[in-house]
Amino acid sequence: MSNDKPLNILISNDDGIFALGVRTLADTLAQAGHHITVVCPNRERSATGHGLTLHQPLRAEAVNSIFHDSVTAWSCSGTPADCVKFALSAVLDTRPDLVLSGINHGPNLGTDVLYSGTVSAAMEGTLEGIPSIAFSLASFAHFEFQVAANFAVKLIEKLDITHFPKRPLLSVNIPPVTAEEIAGVLITRQGLRRYIEKFEKRYDPRGKSYYWLVGEIIEDIPQPEDPNLPPHILTDVQAIRDRYITITPLQYNLTDAVTAKYLYDQNWLET
């Protein structure tokens, strides 16, 4: 069964209220007939993870003329997670059917999701018991978001959000190619990517030093198959390389069941 009626959708991101990705997503969904509310950071807040603003006030204001006429939009001085909390508590009169985040300008693959403000905004929706999806365009150099937005419309229409075994948190990455060049859509598992990171030392005009974190992706690290998943399911890193749209179900429970069982079986706390 698919969704055949307009949905109330909350959208946030971490690239900021003026980012092309969120505008393309919101406008495309509004044109498809859905009721859209956008609450985004007032500036770039990438890689902020699930941070919250606790020691200073949040400031928010309505945003006009940027989005489709039917879209209600707000900018907020906080993090992506702040934006979703603020929207659910202070902007919306009723809970949305879906929380979406993105479309992020850049991939959220493998361990990127641990740092991603895009994924954290979606995760905040799931924490509140609302089905949530993070959308990412898997390139920093590509600026065509319409393919990703069109897929978001199709995915939302196809998913029956009332019949999931639990409220889902999905991370969707779209390859930076034309619709005709996309190889297909795959359900994937979270991969690993290795970075070589360093801090470049630079100097400001007054001669004082500062440091800039830079990193280079070297490779994705092969992972053993998960016995709880279908055999040979690809990682998101592998699948995006082959030009597939990847849908990776995530969860916020970080309990390591293997290590927990090992420690329990050792009975070392009783010795």
pLDDT at position 220: 65
| Distance (Å, whole) CA 22 – CA 12 | 7
pLDDT at position 3: 62
CA atoms within 13 A on the CB side of 192: 6
pLDDT at position 271: 59
Low-confidence ranges of the chain (pLDDT < 70): 1-3, 218-224, 270-271
pLDDT at position 1: 41
- Domain 8-189+228-259, CATH class in plain words: alpha beta
Domain edges within the chain = 8-189+228-259
DSSP alpha helix (H) spans, 91-134: 117-127
Contact 14, 45 (CB under 8 A): yes
